[in-house]
Amino acid sequence: MILPIVAYGDPILKKVAEEVPENFENLKGLVADMFETMYNANGVGLAAPQIGKSIRIFVIDPSPFADDEELSKEEKEELKKGKKAFINPQVVKRNGEDWAFSEGCLSIPGITEDIFRPEEITLTYRDEDFNPHTETFTGLMARVIQHEYDHIEGILFTDKISSLKKRLIKNKLNNIVIGKVSVDYRMRFPKAKKRH
């Protein structure tokens, strides 16, 4: 089922999300809905707060990045197999140099900004069967994971840009809050004006 994506300005995007209990009802169904919602919006990642649930789950599939000519064969293979769900992830370690990448977000349509993040991340998480994993990710996998991890901590990429850049996009952000933005997927705007 495709769910509406919560837009910038909704307070749920600023909340630290809650742990998912092991007996959580229909976890697999929710994860399947999140993948469907993400693919429908041509996204590479989606976190539960973005569908209005303040719980520690996110899904990623960075395979569209595998088309990048500059990547090595190994990196391309890793991205192609990158479809994954993370339940109760916890960052263990961040490593390597910070590098910039132009990020966007399904909750903030029409805006992209260069964001600096470390090259490598190690985290513990549960899969959909609640089996525990500890894994290290690099490059674009680590990039997408860190963006989504921020979502369950109540952080958006627009929180990481300079105040000057933020001023420059202020009008665009205000327009998203009221739904004055064109998107080709279903969204829920915090202060949408009624349409007739």
Active site residues: 148
Instruction: Name the residue nearer to Ni ion (CB basis): 41 or 123.
Output: 41
Instruction: Name the residue nearer to Ni ion (CB basis): 44 or 87.
Output: 44
Could you tell me the strand order of the sheet in which 113-126 lies? 45-47, 57-60, 84-103, 113-126, 132-138
Pairing between strand 187-188 and 5-6? parallel
What burial class does residue 71 get, using C-beta atoms within 10 Å of its C-beta: 0-12 exposed, 13-18 middle, 19+ buried? middle
Amino acid identity, residue 162?
Answer: S
Ranges within 61-80 binding Ni ion (CB under 5 A): none
- Range in contact with Ni ion (rule: CB under 5 A) among 18-26, 79-87, 100-108, 183-191: 100-108
Residue 48 near Ni ion by CB under 5 A: no
Residue 105 near Ni ion by CB under 5 A: yes
Residue 51 near Ni ion by CB under 5 A: no
Where does the chain show beta strands of DSSP type E? 5-6, 45-47, 57-60, 84-103, 113-126, 132-138, 187-188
Count of chain residues binding Ni ion (CB under 5 A): 1
Looking from the CA of 57 toward its CB, the CA atoms found within 13 Å total: 24
- Range in contact with Ni ion (rule: CB under 5 A) among 53-61, 62-70, 99-107, 110-118: 99-107
- Range in contact with Ni ion (rule: CB under 5 A) among 54-62, 73-81, 102-110, 172-180: 102-110
Where along the sequence are the contacts to Ni ion (CB under 5 A)? 105
